[in-house]
Amino acid sequence: MTPPLIFELSRSGRCAATLPELDVPPAELPVELLRDDLPLPEVSELDLVRHYTRLSQLNYGIDIGYYPLGSCTMKYNPKINEEMARLPGFVHLHPYQEEETVQGALYLIYSLQTFLAEIGGFAGVSLQPAAGAHGELTGVLMMRAYHLQQGDTGRNVILVPDSAHGTNPATTSMSGMTVVEIPSDGRGNVDMAALQAACQEHGPRLVGMMLTNPNTLGLFDENVAAISELVHRHGGLMYGDGANMNALLGIARPGDLGFDVLHYNLHKTFGTPHGGGGPGSGPVGASARLVDFLPRPIVAVDEARSSDGEMFFAWRDPPQSIGRVKAFYGHFGVMVRAYTYIRMLGAPGLRRVAEHAVLNANYLLSQVRGVYPIPYDRVCMHEFVCEGQVADAPDVRALDISKRLIDYGFHPPTNYFPLIVHEALMIEPTETESKETLDAFAAALRQIAEEARSDPDLLLQAPRQAPLRRLDEVRAAKELRLRWEEQGQELL
């Protein structure tokens, strides 16, 4: 039993730290910076440790339990990645250091660029973007720059399927382009007739298309080659949203499927914990046509400064670079984790990641079939989408099923996305979960469907077992209160 959470622990005069005796002359404090109205808590070391440990226990994370958050790829990330990222030689680097003094770090960046280029089938990679959405913005700006360089100034339309992640239309708008939405067909593929019509209508204004494959229904678009051919025929380029790369690793390469530029989510596919707002990384890979437009700088071998046995690595600006998209060089700690992850697995291991991700998703799909409706029911890739609805339980919605899952000790799946599925529950088992865990999760989903019919209040009132009852997430996000206030106490 966790004791009740008491927030106000401060007692005047208590202190968690003891400062050593002063061994330098005392200096005056800059009084103008001191505030009297800042009542900092006064607590003992034990109070402090218990407070934060208790808070950490209220959190749900991948190290506690299963996290089927579709599209987010919340898989287990090996701890060795963390150890490598914390090596003092990496941690204490400074971005202004001379190239001669950071050859190890540059070698790591160069190697990761090379690995990602090979994995994706691209001519080059820049590791600058800070996240997936940032990679998307970068890619769209590169496509635009390519057209401008061709003297093609009238292009401003980007085609985006209606199954796309919200960041796709958002980044398109941010880059100043116009979004044209393309519907999906009955099998969950891009509707080819609609795509044809859009290409006809917007042909000379087409920058290109943003496609996620496998898409957010967890389905591999069966017409990807024809889509790419069609868009290219109308002068457009193909942007690939590579957030779902764990379904393809070592099996298919986006560059071979016709994509000109693609972002990877290192924090989804390549071993960095995410979901808590920590740094991410969204490197961008580019085909031969776009490689010169990559954001600068990238790392290259400096032949002139290399000797027989030793390569010298240096920062390089791609000749037509769209410029910097980030201060310095991107999130280096995330790169160390991705490098470690790839080296640990090797090529056969990366392929096994994809095989297990797809196998796990299809196994779980087979366990859910017949319990919840599956609108696009065919062999899935790394995730699938069902409807959070139960026959004979009209009041129960996807949200209630998700909240009830919390009582069973599971993190809910992604809710209400993709938008084209009614009451969507988007489930991604990931490659790292065992059959026992997937069976337990499927059993909970079946049990919840039973409860929905027999005692729907169990769902409508859920969660009952969590530290907090049902929250208004939308209000919590809009009226963000990050500081404890007296009147907030009744929340606990």
Ligand X SMILES: *Cc1c(COP(=O)(O)O)cnc(C)c1O
> Site residues (CB under 6 A) for ligand X?
71-72, 131-133, 165, 167, 212, 216, 241, 243-244, 265, 280, 282
Residue with smaller CB distance to ligand X, 113 or 244: 244
- Which residue number, 412 or 463, has a Cβ lying nearer to ligand X? 412
The nearest distance, CB 277 to ligand X, in angstroms, is 11
Query: Of 116 and 133, which has the nearer Cβ to ligand X?
Result: 133
The H-assigned helical ranges of 155-271 are: 167-174, 192-202, 224-233, 266-269
Between 202 and 274, CB nearer to ligand X:
274
Nearest residue to the partner ligand X, using Cβ: 132
Strand pairing class (424-427; 384-387) = antiparallel
Residue whose CB is less far from ligand X, 243 or 445: 243
Q: Take residue 245 and report the two structure tokens written for it.
A: 């790369």
Quote the least distance from Cβ 164 to ligand X, whole Å.
Answer: 8
Which CB, 227 or 314, lies closer to ligand X?
227
Least distance between ligand X and beta carbon 300 (Å)? 26
Cβ 152 to ligand X, closest distance in Å?
Answer: 27
Alpha helices (H) in 100-131, listed in sequence order: 103-120
Please check whether residue 313 is in contact with residue 300, taking contact to mean a CB–CB distance below 8 angstroms: yes
| Closest distance of CB 396 from ligand X, Å | 27
Q: In what order do the strands lie in the sheet with 424-427?
A: 384-387, 424-427, 414-415
CA gap 125, 328 in Å, rounded: 16
For residue 330, the one-letter residue type is G
Nearer to ligand X, 258 or 282 (CB): 282
State the DSSP string of 241-273.
EETTGGGTTTT--GGGGT-SEEEE-HHHHSS--
Is the CB of 130 or the CB of 452 nearer to ligand X?
130
Listed residue (130, 458, 466, 106) closest to 316, CA to CA: 106
